Structure 1
Amino acid sequence: MFEFENNYLLLWVDETIHLMYSDWQRPVTSQEYREGNTLLIEQLREKDIQNWIADSSKLGDISQEDERWTLQELIPTIANTNLLKLARIAGEDTGSHAKFEQFVRRAEPISIGNLQVRQFITYKEAADWLGEIPV
């Protein structure tokens, strides 16, 4: 089990079930967003992660510049890992849900590959979708 925590990101990886869980603890700066995502990508690559629960309910909006970086750098990198399912927890913020759905549609032409992406309100819903994951 790998665990990491700082003042804006909580992360754990259970290699036995190929699962990564990340939780943005608060809205972040552009530098924190990119550093945090760089760490997440390192774990995806190093630990053969197939399922990822990403809790973004406290992240807030990211800048347009960070959106572009995500589309140009982050999404193609994620598509070249063994990740099969990404379950995003957005909480009850329907605006965040809609914005993320638009973002995923913009990312599809970049090639998300076989990656399935869905949004949920709770951890339990996300875990149920991923499969037999202890809650």
Structure 2
Amino acid sequence: MAYYESDELTIEWDPTIETVVMNWHAFAKGDAYRNGLDKGLELVEDKGATNWLADLRDLGTVTQEDQEWTQNEWHPRAFDTTLSNIAVLQPESVVANMSVGDLVEEFGSNDNKSRIFSDRDEAESWLEAQ
């Protein structure tokens, strides 16, 4: 059952691997992107979750403004939660990969673990092992 749904995103709790799962379906920017990340963080707080799986294969390129918002506003709030492991399914686009790679690297530099995957089963297995 979905915790949150929009045209761009579905957020679910996977009790098997105790993970907040973000399934991006389309390009999102501005409020659609930011509201989605905020809703995911709400679910982290509700569940006391340590794991996050972001399927970004269909997200597209994160705009510069949204990258800055993520780094300056969202990451500090995420660091203050129980969240400690992020698995990201990389976007199809090389340009989108570059915009996401920096954000994943920054999260992993704060005593947290983050990895980028191309295979969902591998990402889920990694999270389950954490």
Q: Same fold (TM over 0.5)?
A: yes
* Paired amino acid for 1:22: M
Which residue is equivalent to 1:117? 114
Which residue is equivalent to 2:49? 49
CA distance in 2, matches of 1:21, 1:34: 16
Change beyond 3 A, Cα 1:126–1:17? closer
Change beyond 3 A, Cα 1:26–1:2? closer
RMSD over aligned Cα atoms: 2.3
Correspondence list, 1:119-134, <5 A: 119-131=116-128
- Aligned residues of 2:17 and 2:128 also touching (Cα < 8 A): no
- Single out whichever of 10-19 and 48-57 deviates more from structure 2: 10-19
CA distance in 2, matches of 1:91, 1:102: 13
> Residue by residue, what CA displacement relative to the aligned partner does 1:26-84 show, whole Å, maximum 9, x if unpaired?
00131100111111111111211111111011111121111110000111111111112
CA distance in 2, matches of 1:63, 1:96: 9
State the 1:21 CA deviation.
Answer: 0.7
Which residue is equivalent to 2:66? 66
The number of aligned residues is 129
Instruction: Please give the TM-score of this superposition, normalised by the length of structure 1.
Output: 0.81
* Paired amino acid for 2:7: N
Runs of 4+ with >4 A deviation: none
- Aligned residues of 1:2 and 1:14 also touching (Cα < 8 A): no
SS of the aligned residue for 1:131 comes to: helix
| Higher radius of gyration, 1 or 2 | 1
Change beyond 3 A, Cα 1:103–1:37? closer
Identity score, percent = 28
Give yes or no for the alignment of 1:75 onto 2:75: yes
CA distance in 2, matches of 1:24, 1:116: 21
Instruction: Please give the TM-score of this superposition, normalised by the length of structure 2.
Output: 0.84
**Unmatched tracts of structure 1, length 5 or more:** none
